[in-house]
Amino acid sequence: MSQNEILLESGTNEVEILEFLLGDQSFGLNVAKVTSIEIFEEHRRTSLPAVPPGLMGTFMFRKETIPLLEMSTVLQIDNNVKSERPLVISVEFNNFILGLYVDGVNRIHRMAWDDFEPLDTTFGGDNNSILGSIHIDDREILILDIESVSTRYFTHLSMEKFSDDVVSDEKTIARLRSTKRLVVAEDSTMIRHQIVTILKTAGYSNLHDFDNGQKAFDYLTSQGEPASDHVDMMILDIEMPAMDGLTLCRKFKRELGGTTTPVVMFSSLINEQMAMKCREVGADGWITKPEIGELVKSVDEKLGIVTKE
């Protein structure tokens, strides 16, 4: 089997990273979020008044305008090496398209998630822009958390707010939710905190959360088999270091006896192709971030908990 065929399979714990440049520093993006790379043309940009530093205005992209971020400013990079031919990388996630103004693009790297080194939490924070790094040849590539970056500029992408109908005051529903055992795996500190807070507010208090798929897998393994005896539902991100969500779902269903336990993928990468990959590994549902209201409703539905109309 060729390497290309391996990449087409689901749950191989591999990812492709696009390496882009800001000055002499390399950064990385998941190729699955990249829709195009093109030369920046000033006449396609429209400036906007009273915008925060780093937001260059809008950029004409396929007959539509999208926000354009100047990434050196966004990431607070002291960039004294300005490119003569800057590029715009357009990325799409959460049904949102964004342009990234960068100095250049190097190449695409295929890597395993266990080659990824998460950011030391001592240096991180809830709004940190960097997830971690990978080492290629003699250089370090910092992996960008584009979702955290975006929520700082575009509040409608934040998962902080959710509709009042998500939280029910009925004691019966709260009691039912509290009896369910949930496992959450999400590597972004900010997003994981939001997911856990909202689920617990809704009444799902019996919850274990992990910052990568390998830690969640180790926990599940330690509980014994079958896994369905110890967990009632899994909520997994797709992009995670050490072990990604697709691999974790496949192992959970096929190796740990979790065939009867629902697994929902909660990710910014959900599209028709990714939904097919979710089906292939046995996932029972998938939701695009930041539809947090839909997440709680999906958990209720999969666990047979009925909420008020």
In degrees, rounded to 5, the angle at the alpha carbon of residue 269 between the alpha carbons of residues 155 and 184 is 80
Question: Which residue, 285, 289, 297, is CA-closest to 199?
Answer: 297
pTM of the model: 0.70
DSSP string, the chain: --HHHHHHSSSS-EEEEEEEEETTEEEEEEGGGEEEEEE--GGGEE--SS--TTEEEEEEETTEEEEEEEHHHHTT-------SS-EEEEEEETTEEEEEEESEEEEEEEEEGGG-EEPPTTT--TT-SEEEEEEETTEEEEEE-HHHHHHHH-GGG-SS---GGGS---HHHHHHHHH--EEEE-S-HHHHHHHHHHHHHTT--SEEEESSHHHHHHHHHHH-S-GGGT-SEEEE-SS-SSS-HHHHHHHHHHTSS-TTS-EEEEETT-SHHHHHHHHHTT-SEEEETT-HHHHHHHHHHHTT-----
What are the sequence ranges of the domains in the chain?
3-157, 164-302
Q: Which CATH superfamily is domain 164-302 in?
A: Response regulator (3.40.50.2300)
Q: Tokens 């990468």 belong to which residue? A: 269
CATH class of the structural domain 3-157: mainly beta
How many CA atoms lie less than 13 Å away from 77 in the CB half-sphere? Answer: 22
Q: Which two tokens stand for residue 293?
A: 């209201």
One pLDDT digit (tens) per residue for the chain, 309 residues: 333 443 445 667 888 999 999 998 999 999 989 999 999 999 999 998 888 899 999 999 988 899 999 999 999 888 777 788 999 999 998 778 999 999 999 999 998 888 888 776 554 444 478 888 999 888 899 999 888 888 888 865 555 444 434 444 466 787 889 999 999 999 888 889 889 998 998 889 999 999 999 999 999 999 988 988 999 999 999 988 899 999 999 999 999 999 999 999 988 888 888 889 999 999 999 888 767 667 888 899 899 886 445
